[in-house]
Amino acid sequence: MSAPKIQFIDLAAQQRRIRPAIDAGIQRVLDHGKYIMGPEVQEFERDLCDFSGAKNAISCSNGTDALLMILMAKGIGPGDAVICPDFTFTATPEVIALLGATPVFCDVDDVTFNLDPDQLPAAVSAARAAGLVPRAVIAVDLFGLPAEYERIEQFAAEQDMWVLSDCAQGFGSSYGNRMAGQFGDATATSFFPAKPLGCYGDGGAVFTDDDELADVMRSIRVHGKGTDKYDNVRVGQNARLDTMQAAILIEKLKIFPDEIVARNAIAKRYEAGLSSIDGLVVPHVPEGSVSVWAQYTLRVDAGRRDSLAASLGEAGVPTAIYYPKPLHQQTAYEGYPCQEGGVPVSSRLAKEVLSLPMHPYLGESDQDYIIEQVRKFA
């Protein structure tokens, strides 16, 4: 049997489905010529509000700038500590450090891969011991699964802190009766092509139910504008979403609900095929949450992970390791504090995680082949 051609994420399959609509959308932008803040930007923002149930959706240049806009609007700066998970993409702590504030790395839960609420007090203690004021928690919805917001929000409220949801991987997910966009005080997401909802370039958005915060972020998005961009009332960014990307996202958002269903069906099939294997743990979704499966990430007994990845690679099954190095071990972040007691789970996960191909167009026969190759190794 010859190996099928399997993509880790197949964006071309999605494009084949909606290419005429995408072409028409791009054509409309070329015709009206409003490349910056054109009508598609407002239309897409209304669509985002309808989809997420958030009161305000503000599109922007990318997920990193989305995080930055929220922190800037909240006035985060030197002397402030912002707690974030040690096991996430570098953009999460990067925006904290960019503003002169201090990221404090908190450990994660080895079942959900997300911030462990039990560790938050030890992270706050580390911040105070370093002479910093703990101001906020950034919870990350890693691999598409919402963090444990109820406990995180409750802890933050008790400590007079606020919560930012880094939902770059989790847009479309839900937690209880809340959709992504309604997590924390404000939510940031990314439309990087490989994210669950992606455009054909860079893009992002912020969400909040706080109208005042939303107005400040709309100002920050365009150079801290007052009445217009030549009236500058604060230091801001150039963080707009291109009209062209908005036109593309309008079409992609229409099929997104359908794709979330497909992603969940694929995750179920992986679970059925892989959950009984010794030395391998499949991801678990807590009761009440719906993941969008940005990644389908296994935990493999340390020491066997790299050989499994190699054997899958030889069989034509692409895999990825998110993330090979926890943040506190990265050169750029060596100088920043970890929670009291350290971050042992994050350090261990970096040696155990392995992500399998996951996208809404992964066919059953390809998936069966992937499952068979994993079982063969195990």
Ligand X SMILES: *Cc1c(COP(=O)(O)O)cnc(C)c1O
* Contact set with ligand X (CB under 6 A): 62-64, 88-89, 91-92, 140, 166, 168-169, 190, 192, 202, 204
Q: Which one, 7 or 90, has the nearer CB to ligand X?
A: 90
Partners of residue 222 on adjacent β-strands: 238
Q: At 273, list the tokens.
A: 């095929």
Dihedral in degrees, nearest 10, Cα atoms 226, 59, 135, 231:
-10
Torsional sign, CA 170, 168, 180, 88: positive
Nearest approach, Cβ of residue 268 and ligand X (Å): 24
Q: Which one, 202 or 366, has the nearer CB to ligand X?
A: 202
Nearest approach, Cβ of residue 311 and ligand X (Å): 27
Q: Which one, 144 or 374, has the nearer CB to ligand X?
A: 144
Partners of residue 206 on adjacent β-strands: 58, 188
Nearest approach, Cβ of residue 98 and ligand X (Å): 12
Q: Which one, 126 or 197, has the nearer CB to ligand X?
A: 197
Nearest approach, Cβ of residue 260 and ligand X (Å): 17
Q: Which one, 74 or 195, has the nearer CB to ligand X?
A: 195
CB neighbourhood size of 268 (10 A): 10
In order of 132, 144, 178, the CA distances from 84 in angstroms are: 15, 17, 22
Contact 108, 118 (CB under 8 A): no
Nearest approach, Cβ of residue 108 and ligand X (Å): 12
Q: Which one, 10 or 202, has the nearer CB to ligand X?
A: 202
Q: Which one, 184 or 280, has the nearer CB to ligand X?
A: 184
Nearest approach, Cβ of residue 33 and ligand X (Å): 26
Nearest approach, Cβ of residue 24 and ligand X (Å): 26
Place of tokens 């966009």: 181
CB-based contacts of 171, cutoff 8 Å, min separation 6: 52, 180, 181, 189, 190, 195, 196, 197, 292
Q: Which one, 205 or 308, has the nearer CB to ligand X?
A: 205
**DSSP label at residue 333:** G
Which residue from 228, 209, 207, 210 is spatially nearest to 219, judged by alpha carbons? 228
Partners of residue 189 on adjacent β-strands: 205
Nearest approach, Cβ of residue 197 and ligand X (Å): 11
Euclidean distance between the first and final Cα of the chain, in Å? Answer: 20
CB-based contacts of 292, cutoff 8 Å, min separation 6: 144, 169, 170, 171, 172, 173, 196, 260, 263
Place of tokens 């010529």: 33
Which residue from 297, 312, 283, 284 is spatially nearest to 378, judged by alpha carbons? 312
Instruction: Report the alpha-carbon distance of residue 52 to residue 179 in Å, rounded.
Output: 6
Question: Which residue minimizes CB distance to ligand X?
Answer: 63
Instruction: Report the alpha-carbon distance of residue 296 to residue 294 in Å, rounded.
Output: 7
Which residue from 203, 211, 184 is spatially nearest to 84, judged by alpha carbons? 184
Q: Which one, 179 or 241, has the nearer CB to ligand X?
A: 241
